[in-house]
């Protein structure tokens, strides 16, 4: 990362989300440390907008947060009868029709889906608390580098809810069904050591080295040719849904495209 996030002119800066772009690297920063980057529908819409505003030059998106906590989860105001100003409260949503409720949750989920796009590699830099929606936002990214003070927790089930912001699929894929179930239903904290040992995090470093570690990882990703990274990510993401023979076939097709591209041979 040639420039710091603070040195760049933001492409987007609203509702607790700032997007900056430095050539091939975009940085999405959660910017409400006074509230431990608690999340709200307005923040989710800003995250969705950030994804839509990424220039085509971007290859890596870094997700980071200001302050001591990555994100303490959903703003507790959501659980009050009044909810957020200008937003339907949870009570209002529950009293609405099935289609309206489903559409509203689907809109919220959009903030968590674009990080998986095949044309980018997303890296979450996570420090301190990453709870509930914060945990799920970190899970939305392809890779996670964590500070040694990180504390992941999935608290939705303890509150009588379920994790519904796209976090269940990657969590099971990373740590397996039994551990994912235990993490969710107990709501316990997952430390940096456990996160690395179970595959939940790629790397844990002292908190004051988090930015440097993410910078090194980003540089390594950018060192590989873009089209090869896209093909590899697509292959790996689809592997869970293919059997062995189908994956072999997908590998052959992807390699054929790469060989033809490198040889300058058209389709």
**pLDDT value at 172 more than 60:** yes
pLDDT for position 2: 46
Q: What percentage of the chain has pLDDT greater than the value 70?
A: 97
Band (pLDDT 50/70/90 cuts) for residue 91 is confident
29 pLDDT tier (thresholds 50, 70, 90): very high
pLDDT at 92: 86
CA-to-CA distance for 27 and 71, rounded, in angstroms? 16
Q: pLDDT digits over 30-76, tens only?
A: 999 999 999 999 999 999 999 999 999 999 999 999 999 999 999 98
Hey, which residues does 143 pair with through a beta bridge?
123
pLDDT per residue as tens digits for the range 218-235:
999 999 999 999 999 999
Q: Phi and psi at residue 45, in whole multiples of 5°?
A: -65, -35
Provide, for the chain, the percentages of residues in helix, strand and coil under a 3-state DSSP scheme, each rounded to the nearest 5: 50, 15, 35
Identify any residues that bridge with 151 across adjacent strands, giving them in sequence order: 129
* pLDDT at position 245 over 50: yes
Does the structure show a pLDDT above 80 at 267?
no
Average of per-residue pLDDT values in the chain: 95
Q: What is the pLDDT of residue 183?
A: 98
Considering only residues 54 and 90, tell me which one the structure prediction assigns the higher pLDDT.
Answer: 54
pLDDT at 23: 95
Q: Per-residue pLDDT averaged across 193-209, rounded?
A: 98
Band of pLDDT at residue 1, cut at 50, 70 and 90: very low
Q: Which of 10-24, 47-61, 84-98, 169-183 has the lowest mean pLDDT?
A: 84-98
Task: Give the pLDDT band (50/70/90) at residue 93.
Answer: confident
* pLDDT > 90: percent of the chain: 87
Q: Is the pLDDT of residue 143 over 80?
A: yes
CA atoms within 13 A on the CB side of 250: 17
Task: Tell me the C-alpha distance between 14 and 23, whole Å.
Answer: 22
Query: Which has the minimum average pLDDT: 14-23, 77-86, 119-128, 162-171?
Result: 77-86
More confident residue, 87 or 180: 180
Chain length of the chain: 267
What's the confidence (pLDDT) of residue 4?
Answer: 67
For residues 243 and 228, give the distance between their C-alpha atoms in angstroms, rounded to a whole number. Answer: 22
Q: 137-169 burial, b if ≥16 CB within 10 A, otherwise e?
A: bbbbbbbbbbbbbbbbbbbbbeeeeebebbbbe
Question: Do residues 193 and 206 lie in contact, with contact meaning Cβ atoms separated by under 8 Å?
Answer: no
Give the best-scoring range by mean pLDDT among 75-84, 87-96, 119-128.
119-128
Query: 82 falls in which pLDDT band (50, 70, 90)?
Result: confident
């Amino acid at each position: 990362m040639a420039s710091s996030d603070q040195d760049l002119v933001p492409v987007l800066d609203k509702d607790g989300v700032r997007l900056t772009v430095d050539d091939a690297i975009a940085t999405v920063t959660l910017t409400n440390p006074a509230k431990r980057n608690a999340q709200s529908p307005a923040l989710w819409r800003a995250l969705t907008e950030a994804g839509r505003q990424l220039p085509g030059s971007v290859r890596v998106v870094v997700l980071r947060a200001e302050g001591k906590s990555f994100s303490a989860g959903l703003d507790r105001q959501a659980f009050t009868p009044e909810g957020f100003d200008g937003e339907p409260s949870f009570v209002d949503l529950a009293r609405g029709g099935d289609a309206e409720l489903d559409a509203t949750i689907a809109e919220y989920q959009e903030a968590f889906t674009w990080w998986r796009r095949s044309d980018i590699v997303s890296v979450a830099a996570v420090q301190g608390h990453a709870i509930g929606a914060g945990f799920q936002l970190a899970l939305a990214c392809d890779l996670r580098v964590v500070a040694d003070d990180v504390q992941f927790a999935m608290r939705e089930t303890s509150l009588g809810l379920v994790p519904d912001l796209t976090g269940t699929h990657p969590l099971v894929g990373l740590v397996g069904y039994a551990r994912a179930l235990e993490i969710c239903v107990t709501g316990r904290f997952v430390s940096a050591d456990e996160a690395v040992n179970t595959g939940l995090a790629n790397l844990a470093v002292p908190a004051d080295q988090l930015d440097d570690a993410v910078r090194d990882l980003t540089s390594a990703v950018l060192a590989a040719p873009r089209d090869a990274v896209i093909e590899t990510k697509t292959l790996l993401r689809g592997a869970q849904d293919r059997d062995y023979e189908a994956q072999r076939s997908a590998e052959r097709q992807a390699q054929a495209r790469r060989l033809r591209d490198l040889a300058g041979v058209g389709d």
